[in-house]
């Protein structure tokens, strides 16, 4: 290839970044790692969540009571200001994120004014849910897994829209494919699967893009990038 314009390179890099993100599993979280990549066990995450709420959010004075409950990804705290036992959902919490935003987003997931119904046992009478130290049932785990999956996909889709300007539909398609890659056994997806997804996402397969780059066919590459910009919602400038 004798000459490739700056805009073409910008679009190629942008497209490569998207496919790289897909291949690496996308921007999913789940509340187990910090922004620095440090792993947190559930108990450590629970303690850090309560600590950061008390430090970062005005008007909270919480004490961790139970970090593991029958309800997956929930903790029980004692609110000293309201003198009540409450259950907080921390399944989508990532260490370092804005706690005010998190509390607002998941406010409807929390349970307030739990009743103490036994030794280390708490119940929300409105829903009938118990928060005690025991394993969740298979049904509960299945439901929570599905909810957490959608939260991860939704977060990754929003990141893609912000970073690359993808349309809402294409962002969700990419995030969902990314999640499937990340959670599937190695070797499940082959080159043909990546080509098929790229074709659906951008109008051209990865193989077709690579062929144009290797052969130096700038005209064909430009046309593919133009089509990709239109179908993905990224715009002709790749912004």
pLDDT in tens, 210-235: 888 889 888 998 898 888 888 887 76
Q: Are residues 106 and 167 in the same domain?
A: no
Q: Are residues 105 and 165 in the same domain?
A: no
- By the 8 A CB rule, do 79 and 123 touch? no
Q: Are residues 192 and 226 in the same domain?
A: yes
Residue 206 lies in a domain: yes
Residue 113 lies in a domain: yes
Q: Are residues 171 and 129 in the same domain?
A: no
Closest C-alpha among 57, 46, 128, 137 to residue 95: 46
pLDDT score at 133: 58
pLDDT digits (tens, 9 = 90+) for 18-61: 444 444 433 333 344 444 456 777 888 899 899 999 988 888 89
pLDDT score at 147: 56
Model pTM score: 0.43
Per the structure, the complete domain to which residue 155 belongs is given by: 6-27+147-232
Mean pLDDT confidence for 62-84? 88
Q: Are residues 132 and 151 in the same domain?
A: no
Q: Are residues 15 and 49 in the same domain?
A: no
Residue 37 lies in a domain: no
- By the 8 A CB rule, do 156 and 28 touch? yes
pLDDT score at 136: 46
Residue 95 lies in a domain: yes
Which residues, at least 6 apart from 149, have a Cβ–Cβ distance to it below 8 Å?
Answer: 179
Q: What percent of the chain has pLDDT over 90?
A: 12
Closest C-alpha among 62, 50, 27, 42 to residue 99: 50
Partners of 64 in beta bridges: 77
Residue 66 lies in a domain: yes
- By the 8 A CB rule, do 14 and 238 touch? yes
Domain boundary among 81, 105, 136: 136
Domain boundary among 136, 163, 181: 136
Q: Are residues 184 and 221 in the same domain?
A: yes
pLDDT at 140 over 60: no
Residue 238 lies in a domain: no
- By the 8 A CB rule, do 73 and 103 touch? no
Overall number of domains in the chain:
2
Q: What is the mean pLDDT of the chain?
A: 75
| Of 13 and 125, the one with more pLDDT | 125
Residue 58, H or E segment: none
| Of 213 and 238, the one with more pLDDT | 213
Mean pLDDT confidence for 151-169? 80
Q: Are residues 57 and 128 in the same domain?
A: yes
- By the 8 A CB rule, do 87 and 107 touch? no
Q: Are residues 20 and 78 in the same domain?
A: no
Domain boundary among 79, 109, 136: 136
DSSP string, 160-180: HHHHH---HHHHHHHHHHHHH
pLDDT at 88 over 90: yes
Which residues, at least 6 apart from 19, have a Cβ–Cβ distance to it below 8 Å?
Answer: 194, 198, 206
End-to-end CA distance of the chain: 25
Measured CA to CA, the distance from residue 86 to residue 69 in angstroms comes to 12
Residue 1 lies in a domain: no
């Amino acid at each position: 290839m004798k000459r490739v314009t700056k805009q073409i390179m910008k679009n190629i890099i942008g497209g490569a970044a998207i496919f790289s993100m897909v291949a690496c599993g996308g921007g999913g979280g789940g509340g187990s790692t910090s922004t620095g990549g440090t792993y947190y066990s559930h108990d450590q995450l629970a303690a850090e969540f309560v600590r950061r709420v008390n430090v970062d959010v005005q008007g909270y004075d919480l004490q961790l009571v139970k970090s593991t409950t029958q309800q997956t990804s929930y903790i029980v705290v004692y609110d000293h200001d309201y003198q009540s036992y409450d259950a907080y959902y921390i399944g989508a919490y990532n260490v370092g994120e804005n706690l005010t935003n998190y509390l607002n987003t998941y406010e409807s997931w929390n349970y307030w004014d739990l009743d103490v119904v036994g030794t280390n046992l708490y119940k929300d009478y409105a829903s009938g849910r118990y928060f005690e130290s025991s394993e969740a049932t298979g049904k509960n785990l299945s439901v929570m897994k599905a909810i957490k999956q959608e939260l991860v996909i939704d977060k990754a889709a929003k990141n893609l829209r912000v970073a690359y300007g993808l349309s809402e539909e294409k962002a969700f398609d990419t995030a969902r494919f990314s999640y499937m890659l990340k959670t599937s056994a190695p070797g499940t997806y082959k080159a043909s699967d990546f080509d098929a997804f790229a074709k659906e996402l951008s109008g051209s397969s990865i193989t077709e893009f690579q062929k144009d780059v290797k052969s130096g066919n700038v005209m064909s590459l430009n046309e593919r990038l133009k089509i990709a910009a239109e179908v993905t919602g990224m715009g002709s400038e790749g912004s």
